[in-house]
Amino acid sequence: MNSQSIENYLKVIFNQAIVTDEVNTTGIAQALEVSLPSVNSMVKKLAGMGLLEYEKYKPLKITEKGRQTAAMIIRKHRLTEMYLVEKMGFGWEEVHDIAEQLEHIQSPEFFDRMDELLGHPQRDPHGSPIPNKQGHIAILEYRMLSDCKPGEKVELKALAHTSDEFLRYLNSKELALGVQVQVVEVEVYDKNMTVDYEGRREVLSALVCSKLLVS
């Protein structure tokens, strides 16, 4: 029954709450590209609905109910992304905008069917966990590739960033989830990493390596 606006706010707040437990108004405004007063009034509304704890000039805290509600939206988003990639043949760089719209569809049956057809996947195409129907999210403890040492051989499991440009960059390097990567060398000066995978050798920047989650 929540509007799309409410759902979008909640999703952003939830995602920020993962980083720091306490969320600030400005961050929400930036993420949603909306003015501060807009956030302020919506935050009051969400608090009135019991989804947030709000006190003037204090950082926001998401309630259990808010967390639960947000998890269900994220579940729909990530199931959709997985469905688009697995069943409809889209690339992982194409699915975000479509999922952003589909996540607001009100139809448990629709998403349950996706879930079934996919065999109850645990991760979306970018390696992010899909919350289960109870709103529980498996916490996956991956390391950043940038924290690995020369000689280590690891598998690319997830991405810490999923912008189109980054995904297209990874496509151009044929870096996909599941690829086995061996660290050859780390440049002391700029932390550039030379890595081997799939029979090729590439030099990856520290920025890129910090977005590649491995185990």
Give residues in contact with a copy of itself (CB under 8 A). 84, 87-90, 94, 97-98, 101-102, 105-107, 109-110, 113-114, 117
33 binds DNA (CB under 7 A): yes
Out of 20, 24, 101, 171, point to the residue binding DNA (CB under 7 A): 24
Rounded distance between C-alpha atoms, residue 156 and residue 67, angstroms: 29
The distance of closest approach from Cβ of residue 12 to DNA in the complex, given in angstroms and rounded to an integer, is: 11
User: 11 vs 32, 51, 97, 120, CA distance in Å?
Assistant: 10, 11, 15, 22
Q: Which is nearer to DNA, 57 or 189 (CB)?
A: 57
Query: 50: alpha, beta or left, given left = phi > 0 and alpha = psi -120 to 50?
Result: left
Tell the burial category of 135 from Cβ atoms under 10 Å away from its Cβ (0-12, 13-18, 19+). middle
Q: How many CB atoms lie within 10 A of CB 7?
A: 18
Q: Which does 35 bind (CB under 5 to 8 A by kind): a copy of itself, DNA, none?
A: DNA
Rounded distance between C-alpha atoms, residue 154 and residue 76, angstroms: 30
Q: Which is nearer to DNA, 40 or 210 (CB)?
A: 40
- Could you say which residues in the range 38-97 bind DNA, by CB under 7 A? 38, 40-45, 54, 56-59
Q: Which does 33 bind (CB under 5 to 8 A by kind): DNA, a copy of itself, none?
A: DNA
Which residue is associated with the tokens 């020369």? 150
- What's at 183, amino acid-wise? V
Q: Which does 141 bind (CB under 5 to 8 A by kind): DNA, a copy of itself, none?
A: none
Q: Which does 107 bind (CB under 5 to 8 A by kind): a copy of itself, DNA, none?
A: a copy of itself
Rounded distance between C-alpha atoms, residue 64 and residue 70, angstroms: 10
The distance of closest approach from Cβ of residue 98 to a copy of itself in the complex, given in angstroms and rounded to an integer, is: 5
189 binds DNA (CB under 7 A): no
Q: Which does 25 bind (CB under 5 to 8 A by kind): a copy of itself, DNA, none?
A: DNA
Q: Which does 87 bind (CB under 5 to 8 A by kind): DNA, a copy of itself, none?
A: a copy of itself
User: Sign of the C-alpha dihedral, residues 35, 104, 20, 213?
Assistant: negative
Q: Which is nearer to a copy of itself, 57 or 107 (CB)?
A: 107
Rounded distance between C-alpha atoms, residue 46 and residue 109, angstroms: 27
User: Interface residues with DNA (CB under 7 A)?
Assistant: 3-6, 8, 24-26, 32-38, 40-45, 54, 56-59
